[in-house]
Amino acid sequence: MTGAAGAESTAEIGRRVLRLRTERGFTQRQLAEPAYTAAYVSTLEAGKVRPSEAALRHLADRLGVSYEELTTGRSPRDATRLRAAVTDARRALATGAAEDAAGLFAEVRDEAERLGFAEERSAALLGLGDCALETGDLTVARDHFEAVERLLAGEPLPRRIPAIRGRAVAHLLAGELRYSCYLLESSIDELNASGLHDPYALLLLYTAAIAPYMDMGAHARAVRAAELALALAPSVDDPGLIARMHRGVARTLIAEGRTTEADASLAKAQELYEQLRIHTDLAHCHWMRGYVHAQDGNLERAERELRTARDMLASKRAALFTVQVEVELADVLRRRGRTAEAEALLLPLLARTPAAGAANTAGEPDAAPGEAGPGEAGLTADRGAVHAGGAHRLLGLIADERGDAEAAEEHYCAALSLLERTGAAGDLADLCRLLGDLLRREGRLEAAMDAYRTGLGHRAAPGTTTLGPAPAEPPM
DSSP state string for 380-436: BTTBSHHHHHHHHHHHHHHHHHTT-HHHHHHHHHHHHHHHHHHT-HHHHHHHHHHHH
Q: What is the pLDDT of residue 476?
A: 64
* Cα-trace Rg, the chain: 28
- Percentage, residues of the chain above pLDDT 90: 53
Q: What is the pLDDT of residue 363?
A: 37
As separate numbers, helices (DSSP H) first and strands (DSSP E) second, the chain gives 24, 0
Average predicted confidence (pLDDT) for the chain: 85
Stretch among 170-179, 215-224, 358-367 having the lowest mean pLDDT: 358-367
With cut-offs at 50, 70 and 90, classify the pLDDT of residue 234: very high
Q: What is the pLDDT of residue 209?
A: 94
Contact 205, 161 (CB under 8 A): yes
Q: Is the pLDDT of residue 4 over 50?
A: no
Q: What mean pLDDT comes out for the span 28-33? A: 92
Q: What mean pLDDT comes out for the span 71-85? A: 84
List alpha helices for 277-298, DSSP H. Answer: 279-295
Q: Is the pLDDT of residue 359 over 50?
A: no
Q: What is the pLDDT of residue 30?
A: 92
Q: What is the pTM of this model?
A: 0.78
Q: What is the pLDDT of residue 401?
A: 92
Q: 228: which residues sit within 8 A by CB, 6+ positions away?
A: 202, 206, 473, 474, 476
- Pick 318 or 363 by higher pLDDT: 318
- Pick 323 or 373 by higher pLDDT: 323
Kindly report, residue by residue over 384-411, the tens digit of the pLDDT. Answer: 888 999 999 999 999 999 999 999 999 9
Q: Is the pLDDT of residue 114 over 90?
A: no
Q: What is the pLDDT of residue 5?
A: 41
Tell me which residue of 320, 352, 293, 279 sits closest to 93, measured CA to CA.
279
Q: Is the pLDDT of residue 371 over 50?
A: no
Q: How far from 210 is each of 279, 368, 395, 421, CA to CA, in Å?
A: 22, 39, 28, 19
- Pick 357 or 14 by higher pLDDT: 14
Distance of CA 252 to the CA centre of its chain: 20
Q: What is the pLDDT of residue 468?
A: 62
CB atoms within 10 A of CB 469: 7
